[in-house]
A and B are shown apart, each in its own frame.
Chain A
Amino acid sequence: MTQASAPLLAARASQFDDTEQQRGASALGMWVFIATEVLFFGVLFAGYTIGRLRFPEAFAAGGRRTDLLLGSIETGILLSSSCLAALAVRDVQLGGRRSSPWLLLGTAALGAAFLVMHGFEYHSEYEEALIPGLRYHPSGDPPHAMAIFFCLYYFITGFHSLHVAIGVALLSRLAVKAWQGAFSPDYIAPVEVTALYWHLVDIVWIFVYPAVYLVGRSS
């Protein structure tokens, strides 16, 4: 059995009676972590909700400045990567050794593609001077509170991108481990737990997408 395969989770550690107990514990641990993550992001969404309630026009104007095409492609990419992660878990469960490394690597690659595309978005927003605190003098006649929209946009997507980057690192490491044959139907906890984390990253984006890219498109 290999040593630690997911951060801070030792493989079949001595405090557990059997791998079944360990797998249950690590899944529950990840779900509790997901609940905290929902609140980490949730408080920012709460701030967004109250801001949008107070300044509907400014938020609509801000939303129209974002790149709908790139945002939609990013959403599609993350949704597909989530499917790949689920398939990787399935493959390990089925005992397959051949496709799981590639599925994990594919998930990581899609995550990296997401980061690159989001980098392009940030870059063009910097060109347009839409980043409060760094470079903010938007062209045209923007509503006063549009900066609040952009603050929240950068904070939420920045924090989300951090999660994506961590996920890409974890997935790449798992892909190598899987290539070396570390996982089997008896030992899937690290893959399962990392996939859960990746799905969380996906879920956060599912809410970011309409809140950022789809606001104000109908007017």
Chain B
Amino acid sequence: MSSTDPGIAAPSYLTAGEPGLAGWLLTHDHKRIGILYAVGITFFFLLGGIAAAMIRINLIEPQGALMSAETYNKAFTFHGVVMVWFFLIPSIPATLGNFLLPLMIGARDVAFPRLNLFSWYLYVGGGLFTIGALLLGGVDTGWTFYTPFSTLFSNSHVVLAVVGVFVVGFSSILTGLNFIVTVHTMRATGMHWFRLPLFVWAMYATSLVMVLATPVLAMTLSLIALERLLGVGIFDPALGGDPLLFQHFFWFYSHPAVYIMVLPAMGVVSELITCGVRRQIFGYRFMAWSMLAIAVIGFMVWGHHMFVAGQSMYAGIVFSILSFVVAVPSAIKVFNWVATLYKGTIDFHAPMLYALGFIGLFMLGGLTGLFLAATALDVNLTDTYFVVAHFHYIMVGGAVMAYLGGIHFWWPKITGRLYPEGPARFAAILMFFGFNLTFFPQYLLGYFGMPRRYHAYPEPFQWLNVLSSAGASILALAYVMPLCYLGWSLVRGRAAGPNPWRATGLEWTVPSPPPKENFALPPVVSEGPYRYRP
């Protein structure tokens, strides 16, 4: 790969350092580690995508077109485990976050580069356990590993899968720790807290959640493994244990985990929108504080997953109210993005299309979340496809759209090459339509009463399921497209130059791709972010 700017003497991070595979696998460079993560999560996204495709094909026929009930259970479990822990949670933080965070705050690297590489190896190790569980025959508990099924009745490889998630959890904790310390101690001269780009705020808030929630999951899953291996009874009602205790601990992590996925997406979208309308973000401080508010309040709502599980009615009321409260900072963000766009001259390039798609889908997902937070309505909708549609709107419509938007936006910076704009816009629009066609019918299915996690269903639900599966095939095409044209641009793309978007931010002041040391001289910052002059 050639250096794009002949005037700059320092070789780019792609060419500097040890050559060959060892130079990548033993690197301490945050940029290379970001790329390593990108390779890993793309692989797992494809694996999880195959499982999703199997599910959608199966549901075309009311009796199940493809698989037995048992295989179906394993398919959706694998889809959930892989997509949640091996794709969504590391997606934006570990790839874009690793690559951009030090650049954005004007640092040479993260605070603990070796720890950063170690996190990637943990991620790979955890992945191997999970794939091992799949190869040996799979897991059928659902990604939630609910007891007592997972501890007493399931005959599948629960322990292996749990170990995989435990290990990848450590990777996530160490990444969060690294980011928190980096933001605190490595900022460039003049880079005050309220001069940080919102992406950095998002990474910071995400790291808080990673560091404070993941340990609880790790221990809870260890208790499951222990219970399966030794037959002790902390969650087993027959021995005096309590399955609801598992649900409390599990959701103490797994609800905030949704914010691990969506907070980084909000950070990315804030960058894309300000650049796309060439404006200062509306209400910068509100945006920063609302991210921290989401991170904190997000810890107090987990009981809304347990309204019908036997939780006390009074606790249910409290969790319901707090779930409405957490919508407020999310709404602030949506209002501020819209206010930033209002009467602006919007440049509809591909990253902007992804960002706009994010706002629309996130709003639909968020508002249907309020339906589910209302206890009376949740009694009807819980464990139906309404829930499935709701969280896919947030996690796929929200997080994945933002991830791809970010990848397109920073692609010139990461690779030094421009991607082809035409196919990129087409893929973004196709994705938006494919996504809605896949998941909007699922809202209706759920509302009409189709329960989730069944491999067969009554005839009247068929037309909606067929629509959904048709949408899924469009969505799959839209996901494969970027792989093709981005891969093509690696070889044939035009050289990007340091700042093709004319964007603000320290990462755009260095050559594309950045040199190994990031900055030739330590940068000095004298103004806040997003000082666009139209």
A positions within 8 Å CB-CB of B: 4, 8-10, 13-17, 21, 24-25, 28-29, 32-33, 35-37, 39-40, 42-44, 46-47, 50-51, 54-55, 58, 132-134, 144-145, 147-148, 151-152, 155
Contact = CB atoms under 8 A, between A and B. Distances in A.
A51 B234 CA distance: 9
B184 A28 contact: yes
B112 A8 contact: yes
7 contacts: A8-B115, A10-B114, A28-B184, A36-B177, A43-B219, A145-B239, A155-B223
Contact of B226 (A40, A55, A155): A155
A147 B235 CA distance: 12
Contacts of A144: 240
Given A9-B112, A13-B113, A32 B177 contact: yes
A151 B219 contact: no
A147 B219 contact: no
Contacts of A44: 219
B464 to A, nearest CB: 40
B232 A147 contact: yes
Interface in B210-260: 211-216, 218-220, 222-223, 226, 229-234, 239-242, 245, 249, 252
B173 interface: yes
Given A4-B114, A14-B108, A147-B232, 9 more contacts: A9-B112, A9-B114, A14-B109, A29-B181, A39-B213, A44-B219, A133-B231, A145-B239, A148-B240
B294 to A, nearest CB: 19
Contacts of B178: 29
A25 B185 contact: yes
Given A8-B115, A148-B234, A32 B181 contact: yes
Interface of B: 107-115, 118, 173, 177-178, 180-181, 184-186, 211-216, 218-220, 222-223, 226, 229-234, 239-242, 245, 249, 252, 522
A50 B180 CA distance: 32
Given A28-B185, A29-B112, A132 B230 contact: yes
A123 to B, nearest CB: 18
Contacts of B185: 21, 24-25, 28
A173 to B, nearest CB: 17
Given A132-B232, A151-B232, A33 B249 contact: no
B111 A29 contact: yes
Nearest to B111: A25
A147 B186 contact: no
Contacts of B220: 43
B241 A148 contact: yes
A39 B254 CA distance: 15
A15 B226 contact: no
Contacts of A54: 240, 242
A147 B214 CA distance: 27
A55 B234 contact: no
Contact of A40 (B186, B219, B229): B219
A13 to B, nearest CB: 7
Given A15-B109, A24-B185, A43-B215, A8 B177 contact: no
A6 to B, nearest CB: 11
A147 B238 CA distance: 12
Contact of A36 (B114, B181, B215): B215
A102 B234 CA distance: 43
B103 to A, nearest CB: 13
Contacts of B113: 10, 13, 15
A46 B114 CA distance: 34
Contacts of B223: 47, 155
A205 B186 CA distance: 34
Contact of B240 (A24, A28, A35, A145): A145
Nearest to B116: A8
A4 B112 CA distance: 12
Contacts of A134: 230
Contacts of A43: 215-216, 219-220, 249, 252
B242 A35 contact: no
Contacts of A37: 215
Contacts of A33: 177
Contacts of A58: 240
Contacts of B173: 36
Nearest to A143: B240
A189 to B, nearest CB: 12
A147 B241 CA distance: 10
B132 to A, nearest CB: 24
Contacts of A17: 522
B112 A50 contact: no
Contacts of A132: 230, 232-233
B405 to A, nearest CB: 29
A40 B249 CA distance: 11
Contacts of B239: 145, 147-148
A8 B111 CA distance: 11
A131 B440 CA distance: 52
Nearest to A158: B226
A21 B188 CA distance: 12
Contacts of A46: 249
A179 B107 CA distance: 35
B106 to A, nearest CB: 11
A84 to B, nearest CB: 27
Nearest to A151: B232
B335 to A, nearest CB: 33
B170 to A, nearest CB: 10
Contacts of A13: 113
Contacts of B115: 8
A29 B240 contact: no
A39 B216 contact: yes
A10 B241 CA distance: 46
A28 B181 contact: yes
B280 to A, nearest CB: 31
Given A8-B118, A15-B108, A147-B239, A29 B177 contact: yes
Nearest to A148: B240
Give 9 closest A-B pairs by Cβ, nearest first.
A133-B230, A15-B109, A145-B240, A39-B215, A40-B215, A25-B185, A43-B216, A151-B232, A25-B111
Of listed A29, A51, A144, residue having the most chain B CB within 10 A: A29
A100 B226 CA distance: 41
Nearest to A17: B522
Contacts of A16: 111
A54 B239 CA distance: 13
B211 A36 contact: yes
Contacts of B180: 28, 32
Of listed A21, A47, A55, residue having the most chain B CB within 10 A: A47
B184 to A, nearest CB: 6
B212 A25 contact: no
B234 A151 contact: yes
